[in-house]
Amino acid sequence: MYLVFDLETEVHTSHKRKANPFDQRNWVVARGWKKQGDVRCSYTYHPEHDRTTYLQIDDDVTLLVGFNIKFDLLWEMCQGNPTLHAFFKRGGKIWDCQYAEYLIRAQVPSAQMCSLNDTAPKYGGTTKIDAVKALWEQGVHTADIHEDLLIDYLVGTEEEDRNGGDIRNTELVFLGQIKKALEQGQIKMIQDRMDGLASTTDMEFRGIKVDVAEAKRRMAILLKDLYEVSAELDTYLPADLPFDFNWGSGTHKSCIIFGGTIKYQKQARYFDEKTGTWARKQETEVHYVQEDGSTHPTKPGVKYAGGKRKGEYKTKQVKVPGEYKTRYTDFFYEFKGYTKPNEDWATKLVDGREAPIYGTGSDIIEIISSRNIPFLKALGKKQALDKEIGTYYVKYDEKKKEHVGMLTCVQPHDHILHHSLNHTTTVTTRLSSNNPNMQNIPRGDKSEVKRMFISRFGDEGCTGEADYSQLEVVVQGVLSGDRQLCEDLRNRIDFHCKRVSASRGCTYEEAVEWCKNEDNPKYPEWKPIRTKAKNFSFQRAYGAGAPAIADSTGMSLDEVQALIVAEEALYPGVTTFNDGVEKTVLETAEPFQAQDDNGVWKTYRRGYWVSPTGTRYSWRSYDAPAFMRKRGTPDSFSPPEMKNYPVQGTGGEFVQAIIGLLWRHFVQRDFYNNSAFLVNTVHDCIWIDCKKEVRDEVFADVQRIMESIPKYFNNRYGMQIDVPFPVEVETGNNMNELHHWKQAA
DNA sequence: ATATTATGCGCC
DNA sequence: AAAAGGCGCATAATAT
């Protein structure tokens, strides 16, 4: 028995969240629903502020259906809907039509974050009433929209017997999607991911506790550092610099480092083409009239001979040149530069004399760091501080006239930060995060930002993080089934050390000893060798070619190629798998029209590959490289993309299914009597906030469930996964000071 | 003045 | 003979 529902709410934005359900100003103005078999939709209307209404979910309901259902679920959770927890606890499931559409259509860009308005017509539904949308766009409050109009919009008009609007459209989409998903063998996969969606909805609802006092302390230190380093940097500027130098401008940085001309504007006199002189304003002055009829500004001339003004000097208004006119004029200032750039560092931007601006990113700064440029260190420090403060703390943006940065998302009354975890925004089915992005918080070895993420339970609580080890390598083993790779995974081989042994001709055991034992005399020399191997393997996993790897690791091309050959010989199944994906993509490719870099419409192709669980991946072709075009192939698929999507996407799928299982478990345990919550996920890890008293129990459960991927997927999808998915759990008082946690014997 | 594109950088 | 994947956010530069 399914129940379709949708809410129309007040839409105040706060902490970057639109129609924020955590904002006390907002409430549900109208609620519509339709139970399976109903001939009409039902609705309630609440024109007055009221945060206590909720959707009645009867005991016979087994599936909640919505469009972008996370929004509506968060509202029901904020209202404290007593029937929702019971629904989930008895195994109730959700179906988000926006998410299903994205998965059914292989995550193509047009299926990301799609709207009900665009989706409904594909399934026999109607488009929305424009009038309501128009009113919202004008800033009209939902409660001020006429009841009849709003209800028509939500559940259809009386003429439609109230079997229309958003609710009927959502139902039609849902029914069509079930059919489509069955045809494409995607039902189980979608259902697993829907549980993952329920899980991240709960994460958003719980939010992350922020130690605001700690954040303020830390920010004061950063601001002081920034002030000092900025002052130091400015000492490297010429004293007579005629314009404001901006160390944050790539153009300015390129010019001062590599040489170049800054064009700046200031007010200046200019020539008048007609007169051939400096352009001036016109003013009028009273001059004396002379005998000859001319005028003079100071020398009195003739007098009136009669009349009212008899005896007074004759005067006359005359036009005289006034102040010089000015206008904004281009000026140029040339920097000689400290060093020569590499030509391939050129960007698309140009300087004041149309010469290229060169990149000044950290990779390039790293390369030129040995060239004795006096301010590079300070510059790097300032850039890092600007980034850290502006992105992860808070700063006033003069242009936007508002504060920016992560801390603007923290609720003042309870210091909880409700982030967003998005399921329909990537081509690979990975999740993304925004408002704020909680998936790119600097690691502990880079900054202390994570120190501000603490437990909501105060001294009685702790934080925790559970990580899959080398998830993408494990997934590579699962997908390819390569015998040696799986064998190595079962033996918990350190792959980086294995590569070191292959390239250096030592044994694996020696590589482990020399690269990882800090007490071994060879450690200082061998640890960097392992780091290089690590870079190599990441780049290979992402499909990088030999030249790119050689470039970034500093290895010679021959050296890299030798490693690649050795790797392919060692794990031939990986190459076979990649070739299979490519073959399928080419076989399934269908033409479509798209604009090229110059805006010209051309025919490209889109091809597909389906994973063992039914997840569909798609790739589009691009303009082929020159050597292929010469041979008559106008477009081609990107080998790195084809290698990467299945691995990245399947890793993401495993984690999403698992956070669904974890959430189901937490629900069954009533969140350990409301003492433990899942609060975040970052691709291969999850964050936990719990009381210390339940910590060991929670972490043991989490680790067991996370490591159950082989059992779960083999059982549910008939897969034959025979490699472990090892999980490491860490815990501490904040997310920066974590230490290894181990289950008591 | 506002919208879009380019660059750079944080994470996995 | 061969192209390092996926995100979001801040800032500057450019277009409208």
Residue A465 CB closer than 7 angstroms to strand B?
no
* Highest averaged pLDDT of the listed ranges A71-80, A433-442, A518-527: A71-80
Give the three-state DSSP class for A232: helix
Distance in Å, residue A112 CA to nucleotide B12 C1': 21
Confidence of residue A422 (pLDDT cuts 50, 70, 90): very high
Closest CA to A448 of A206, A217, A685: A217
Nucleotide nearest to A627 (CA to C1'): C1
User: pLDDT per residue over A133-148, tens digit each?
Assistant: 888 888 889 999 999 9
**Residue A232 and residue A228: Cα distance in Å, rounded?**
6
A273: confidence class by pLDDT, cuts 50, 70, 90: confident
Peptide bond just before A297 cis, omega within 30 deg: no
**Predicted pLDDT of residue A692:** 98
pLDDT the model gives residue A423: 95
Q: Using an 8 Å Cβ cutoff, are A76 and A84 in contact?
A: yes
CA of A728 to C1' of C3 (A): 36
* Whole-number Å distance between alpha carbons of A472 and A5: 38
- pLDDT one-digit tens code per residue, A368-421: 888 888 999 899 899 889 889 989 999 988 888 888 899 999 999 999 999 999
Q: Straight-line distance from CA A349 to C1' B6, in Å? A: 8
Instruction: Give pLDDT, residue A268.
Output: 82
Asked if strand B comes closer than 7 Å to A367 Cβ, the answer is no
CATH 3.40.1550.10 is the classification of domain A417-471+648-741: no
Q: Which nucleotides of C are covered by protein (CB under 7 A)?
A: 1-14
Does the pLDDT of residue A653 top 90, yes or no?
Answer: yes
Cβ distance A260 to A337 under 8 Å? yes
The whole-number pLDDT of residue A538 equals 79
- What is the fold of A2-184? Nucleotidyltransferase; domain 5 (3.30.420)
* CB A649, CB A617: distance < 8 Å: yes
Q: From the C1' of C1, which residue's alpha carbon is nearest?
A: A627
**Residue–nucleotide distance: A438 CA to B11 C1' (Å):** 9
A387 touches strand B (CB under 7 A): yes
Determine the distance between A628 (CA) and C6 (C1') in angstroms: 27
Please give the full DSSP string across A629-680, using - where no structure is assigned: HHTT--EE--HHHHHHHHHHHHHHHHHHHHHHHHHHHHHHTHHHHHTEEEEE
Q: Which of residues 322-341 of A touch strand B (CB under 7 A)?
A: none
CB atoms within 10 A of CB A558: 10
What would the pLDDT profile of A575-634 be if each residue is shown by its tens digit? 999 999 999 999 999 999 888 877 788 899 999 999 999 999 999 999 888 888 888 889
Closest CA to A342 of A327, A330, A358: A358
- Nearest amino-acid residue to C2, taking CA and C1': A545
Q: Rg for chain A (alpha carbons), in Å?
A: 34
Region A348-361 average pLDDT? 87
Which whole number is the average pLDDT over A649-673?
Answer: 97
What is the pLDDT confidence band of residue A730, given thresholds at 50, 70 and 90? very high
Q: pLDDT-derived band of residue A560, with 50, 70 and 90 as boundaries?
A: confident
Q: Where are the domains of chain A?
A: 2-184, 212-236+376-414, 280-324, 417-471+648-741, 483-570
Residue nearest to nucleotide B1 (CA to C1'): A399
Same fold, A2-184 and A417-471+648-741: no
Tens digit of pLDDT for each residue in A202-251?
Answer: 999 999 999 999 999 999 999 999 999 999 999 999 988 888 898 988 88
**A348, closest nucleotide (Cα–C1'):** B6
Residue A343 has pLDDT above 90, yes or no: no
Whether the pLDDT of residue A553 is over 80: the answer is no
Total count of residues recorded for chain A: 745
| Amino acid A537: pLDDT | 81
**pLDDT for A548 beyond 90:** no
| Arithmetic mean of pLDDT, A543-551 | 81
Of A720 and A599, which is predicted with more confidence?
Answer: A720
In this model, does residue A186 exceed pLDDT 90? yes
Closest nucleotide (C1' vs CA) to A365 is: B8
Considering only residues 645-684 of chain A, list those whose CB is below 7 Å from strand B.
682-684
pLDDT greater than 90 at residue A7: yes
| The predicted structure's pLDDT at residue A26 | 96
Mean pLDDT across chain A, nearest whole number? 92
pLDDT computed for residue A126 by the predictor: 87
Tell me the average pLDDT across A336-358: 87
Percent of chain A at pLDDT > 70 equals 100
The C1' atom of B9 and the CA atom of A440 lie apart, in whole Å, by 10
Asked if residue A364 lies in contact with residue A358, where contact means CB atoms within 8 angstroms, the answer is yes
Q: Between the CA of A94 and the C1' of B10, what is the distance in angstroms? A: 33
pLDDT at A130: 76
Spatial distance from the CA of A335 to the C1' of B10 (Å): 31
Q: Identify the pLDDT of residue A574.
A: 93
Separation of A442 CA and B9 C1' (Å) = 10
How far apart, in whole angstroms, are the C-alpha atoms of residue A504 and residue A483?
24
Residue whose CA lies closest to nucleotide C11 C1': A248
For nucleotide B8, give the residue with the nearest CA to its C1'.
A361
pLDDT of residue A66: 98
* Residue A203 CA distance to nucleotide B2 C1' (Å): 36
The protein footprint on chain B, as nucleotides within 7 A of a CB, is 6-12
**pTM given for the model:** 0.91
CA–C1' gap, A679 and C7, in angstroms: 19
Query: Looking at the predicted structure, is the pLDDT value of residue A551 above 80?
Result: no
Task: List the A61 CA – C11 C1' distance (angstroms).
Answer: 50
Query: Is the predicted pLDDT of residue A716 greater than 90, yes or no?
Result: yes
Residue A553: CB atoms within 10 Å: 18
Q: Is the CB of A446 under 7 A from strand B?
A: yes
- Residue A556 makes CB contacts below 8 A (sequence gap 6+) with A550
Q: DSSP assignment of A140-200, as one string?
A: --GGGS-HHHHHHHHH--TTTTT--HHHHHHHHHHHHHHHHHHHTT-HHHHHHHHHHHHHH
Whether the predicted pLDDT of A93 surpasses 80: yes
The Å distance, CA of A289 to C1' of C9, is 71
Mean pLDDT across the stretch A426-430?
Answer: 93
Is the per-residue pLDDT at A154 higher than 80? Answer: yes
A429 pLDDT band, cuts 50/70/90, is very high
Does the nearest atom of strand B lie within 7 Å of A157's Cβ?
no
Asked if pLDDT for residue A175 goes beyond 90, the answer is: yes
Nucleic strand B under 7 Å from the C-beta of A439: yes
**What integer pLDDT is reported at residue A372 of this predicted model?**
86
Mean pLDDT of A51-74: 97
Which residue lies nearest C13, CA-to-C1' measured? A349
